[in-house]
Structure formats: structure tokens, C-alpha cells
Amino acid sequence: MALEAAKSQYRQVADLLRAAIEREEYAPGSLLPSESELAAEYGVSRVTINRAVQLLRGEGMVRVLRGRGTAVRAIPPIRRNSNLRYARSSREEEGSRGAFDFELKRLGLKPATKLAQLGQVPAPETARQVLGLEATDTVLIRKREMYASDEPVLLATSYFPWILAEQAGVTETDTGPGGTYSRLAEIGKGPVRFSEDLRVRTPTAAEERFFALAETQQVYEIVHISYLPDGTAIEYREDVLPTHQWVMHFEWNAENDTKSGETER
């Protein structure tokens, strides 16, 4: 039973360290005390401290900075209120450029978006199918790298039918107050229903680098689709987000008894 007891001990230490970080006893972004200091403080071996820190690393509570030590999580998890974030009043609040701007400001974090790709491209197969496009049709791609107070927290890649994007005037870098959805609404093509498929997966090598993830960390991959009232999909988007940085909130009404929600999309 010695093994079981040891396991329990490092989990206990991890719980104490996690609670201390949540109470901000160790300041956000600061360095943790050294392993030997922590071992003395908690009255356990350095091996136990090391295992506890590895656990917290996987959770994103701390980050190992090579040659400098172990840094405490700089920003708290962000709550993504899927229902609220796309409401016009949210997207346009104080001139926000869309949902992300809005939710970051609420948390007192500094939003920043870097356009990684913007332009007219052939539609990737998945986007093409969802948007009901022909093989020769093109799409507007808007690929953004998004930061919360300098921490990379989101990679979002949207695809809109090119013709629609041109009509709405969202082919430019700045889509104006309220972002793309407000411009679409202005030409009578504002989305009224959304669907998201969310899974958790291992990051690609590029994602691991961009988010500076530890080896055991994973990402949410969300396929977000926006619909017009008649059910036409007008946006296909893929979001990638480190799991430790986000809490996802959804609300919905019970479906009627008609299995209307059953349509395969």
C-alpha cells in the first residue's frame, strides 16, 4: 500500500498548491518557490513536490520557464458564455470588435487579435460541405491569433462564402464595431442560430508551440457554424483553445416533441 499512499500525498500537495494559487498567495505570473523550499514548507520530499508540480503543470496552473523556474498561471480561466457572447449588445459594447473583445474586457484582461491570414481562398472540403458551396466557389478566410493580456488563448479560423463577405464588406482587416456579425446583420444576413461541436484533442506541434503547452496538455477543438433563419449556414469556423484556459457555458431551450433538433448538420 506504500505506492497508493505516495500517490495520495502528491495529490494532497497539489491540492494545497492549487488552492494557494487560486487565493493568489502566489501572485499571478510570479515564480513559485524552489522545489527544496516547497519541500521544507510542506514537510515532504522534493520528489513529492516535483510530482505535484507536474500535475499542476498539466492543469495549466503553472508553467515551467526553462532555466528560470516555475511560473504561476498569469490569467484566470476565461468563461465563454456562448449565448451571451454573440448578442449584438455584447459584441458592440463600448465599441468592441466582437465577442472575444467583449468577454476579455469583462474580466479586466487586455484583448489582442493578430490576423494570421485574411483573403480569398478555395474552400477547404469541410467548410465547402457545410456552406453548401461548389468546388469552384471561393471563401473569405479570417484566421486570427488571439491573446488575453499577452497570453495566447485562442486560434480562430472563419470561412464565409466570398460573395457574401464582399457584400457585407468584411474582407478588410477591421470589420468595425460589433465585428463581422454586425456587418452581416446590416445586409439582412445576420446569423440567428449557432451550433458547436466540441471535442478535446492533443495539440498539433504548431499549436503546442503557439500556446506554449506542456506535453500533457490538450486543446478544445470547436467547430462553430452560424445559420440564417432559413437554416442556411453562412459561417464555418474552427476554434482551438487550451483546455486549462477556458470554461464553456451553454444555455438552450428544451426541444419540442418534434425531433426538430435531429437534423444532421
The residues of the shown chain that bind a second copy, judged by CB under 8 A, are 7-8, 11, 55, 58-59, 77, 79, 81-84, 86-90, 190-202, 205, 215-216, 218, 220, 243-244, 246-259, 261-262
For residue 10, which phi and psi values (nearest 5 degrees)?
A: -70, -30
Minimum Å distance from CB 194 to a second copy? Answer: 6
**Helix (H) or strand (E) run with residue 158 in it:** strand 151-161
N residues, the chain: 265
Q: Which residues contact 92 (CB under 8 A, 6 or more apart)?
A: 177, 178, 182
C-beta closer to a second copy: residue 64 or 112: 64
Minimum Å distance from CB 124 to a second copy? Answer: 18
Minimum Å distance from CB 239 to a second copy? Answer: 13
* DSSP per position, 21-53: HHTTSSPTTPBPPPHHHHHHHHTS-HHHHHHHH
Minimum Å distance from CB 172 to a second copy? Answer: 24
Distance CA 166, CA 244 (A): 37
Minimum Å distance from CB 140 to a second copy? Answer: 21
For residue 5, which phi and psi values (nearest 5 degrees)?
A: -65, -40
**Helix (H) or strand (E) run with residue 7 in it:** helix 2-22
Distance CA 191, CA 142 (A): 17
Measured CA distances, 239 to 5, 8, 113 (Å): 41, 36, 14
Minimum Å distance from CB 10 to a second copy? Answer: 11
C-beta closer to a second copy: residue 86 or 159: 86
**In this structure, are residues 227 and 243 in contact, taking their beta carbons and an 8 Å threshold?**
no
C-beta closer to a second copy: residue 50 or 195: 195
C-beta closer to a second copy: residue 101 or 141: 101
C-beta closer to a second copy: residue 6 or 112: 6
Minimum Å distance from CB 146 to a second copy? Answer: 19
Distance CA 57, CA 184 (A): 42
C-beta closer to a second copy: residue 134 or 264: 264
C-beta closer to a second copy: residue 4 or 174: 4
